[in-house]
Amino acid sequence: MSYYETIYEYAADNYGLITSAKAKGLNVPNVELVKLSHRGRLIRVGHGVYRIVHYVPTPLDKYAEAVAIVGENAYVFGESVLAMHELAFVNPTAIFVATTKRIRKDLPAYIKTVYVKEKDHFTQYEGIPSQHIIYAILACIDSVMTDRLENAVDEAVKQGLITQEETEYLKEALRNERQCSK
């Protein structure tokens, strides 16, 4: 199997993305990624992150790409989790990505990092590392209208993203927030 076939096999199931670290794990040297990029078979989307050219885009690509660009231990955070699932009618100007590491590399303007002490309350949705919906909603209490967050809870239930017990917990937290803001 050629290097490109190895890359394609992995990337086809990963939003068309491959990182240089993952390629190394697949025994593909970094120089091959650069060569394939120069030949027009890969597109460099960030430091050490490439996308295969022959890939059909999905609405979740930008989230997978943002997490890959930020790097290891990164995950979609806060309002971006709600936007990813089309909850609460939010449209953040950037994709918020939480990380436990200090990021020194230059990031595209559409990615904003949030430092967290430990990778807590995180899961994966559609293969993309993400903050759990419950904690994303709670993290948005100060930045998103309470009515919208209540709608987000209802929509999350419809989509099967949270349980009934989690729903009650969130509704109580939002009721308390509404009372405190009066």
Reported as a single tens digit per residue, the pLDDT across 128-168 is 999 999 999 999 988 888 888 999 999 999 999 999 999 99
Mean pLDDT of 69-80: 92
**Averaged over 18-29, what is the pLDDT?**
93
Could you tell me the pLDDT band of residue 182, with boundaries at 50, 70 and 90?
A: low
> How high does pLDDT run on average in the chain?
90
Query: Which of 17-21, 100-104, 115-119 tops mean pLDDT?
Result: 17-21
Tell me which residue of 65, 43, 78 sits closest to 128, measured CA to CA: 65
Non-local CB neighbours of 129 within 8 Å, separated by 6+ positions:
67, 74, 75, 76, 122, 123
- Residues with Cβ within 8 Å of residue 22, at least 6 apart in sequence: 10
**Is residue 180 scored above 80 in pLDDT?**
no
pLDDT of residue 92: 82
8 A C-beta contact, residue 181 and residue 141: no
Sheet with strand 42-46: strands edge to edge: 17-19, 49-52, 42-46
CB under 8 Å to 94, separation ≥6 — which residues?
80, 109, 110, 111, 112
Percentage of the chain lying above the pLDDT 70 cut: 99
What pLDDT does 37 receive? 93
Sheet of 122-125, strands arranged across: 111-115, 95-99, 75-76, 128-131, 122-125
* φ, ψ for residue 121, nearest 5 deg: 55, 45
- Over residues 91-111, the mean pLDDT reads 89
